[in-house]
Amino acid sequence: MNRTGCVEVEPFEGACQCGAVRYSVAAGPAKQTVCHCRMCQRATGNAFAPLMEVENTRIDWQGYAKTYQSSNVAERGFCDECGTPVFYRRIGADSTEFMVGTIDTEIDYRPIANHGIESRRGWVLELAGLTEKETFFTEGEQIISHQYEHGG
Ligand SMILES: [Zn+2]
Ligand SMILES: [Zn+2]
């Protein structure tokens, strides 16, 4: 793992939405970047991938993440129960880049770089200027989540 741009992070835990794939990461250096490349868009079904890169030796896996080799140089880990994209990894690399949305622990995520900007969607730059509201619930409606809850 190239340590350039790394910051020290506290231990953190994460999971897919059903909880079949869970992980804990020991404290240490992490590289926080956002990737807008076309492959990350496809792999996440989204506009970009916020990533947290850590060394493999600090990861304790609980549960099996299936992998898909998305190119000659990279594989992507996901839960084959619920489909959540969990990580990106260069083939044979000593580090793993977690999808930040899978992290349970409250972390101070501050990406230091945009990657894959040849595919960055123009509207991403305009998000900060849009109107805002919290998650909408119809009055009296009760949503029962089927997602894994940290510590639950
Ligand atoms: Zn799952
Ligand atoms: Zn990418």
pLDDT, position 140: 79
Ligand 2 centroid, distance to 37 Cα (angstroms): 4
HEC string of the chain? Answer: CCCCCCEEECCEEEECCCCCCEEEECCEEEEEEEECCHHHHHHHCCCCEEEEEEEHHHEEEECCCEEEECCCCEEEEECCCCCCEEEEEECCCCEEEEEHHHECCCCCCCCCEEECHHHCCHHHHHHHHCCCCCCCCCCCCCCCCCCCCCCC
Proximal ligand: closest to the CA of 18 = 1
Residues within 5 A (CB) of ion ligand 1: 16, 18, 20, 79, 81-82
pLDDT, position 152: 56
Proximal ligand: closest to the CA of 102 = 1
- Tens digit of pLDDT per residue, the chain (152 long)? 999 999 999 999 999 999 999 999 999 999 999 999 999 999 999 999 999 999 999 999 999 899 999 999 999 999 999 999 999 999 999 999 999 999 998 998 999 999 999 999 999 999 999 999 888 777 778 888 899 987 65
pLDDT, position 138: 79
pTM beyond 0.75:
yes
Proximal ligand: closest to the CA of 62 = 1
Proximal ligand: closest to the CA of 16 = 1
7-122: CATH architecture: Alpha-Beta Complex (3.90)
CA 77 to chain CA centroid, Å, is 10
pLDDT, position 151: 66
Ligand 1 centroid, distance to 81 Cα (angstroms): 5
Ligand 1 centroid, distance to 18 Cα (angstroms): 4
pLDDT, position 124: 96
Proximal ligand: closest to the CA of 66 = 1
**C-alpha span between 84 and 143 (Å, rounded):** 20
Ligand 1 centroid, distance to 22 Cα (angstroms): 9
Q: Residue 76, Cβ neighbours under 10 Å: how many?
A: 24
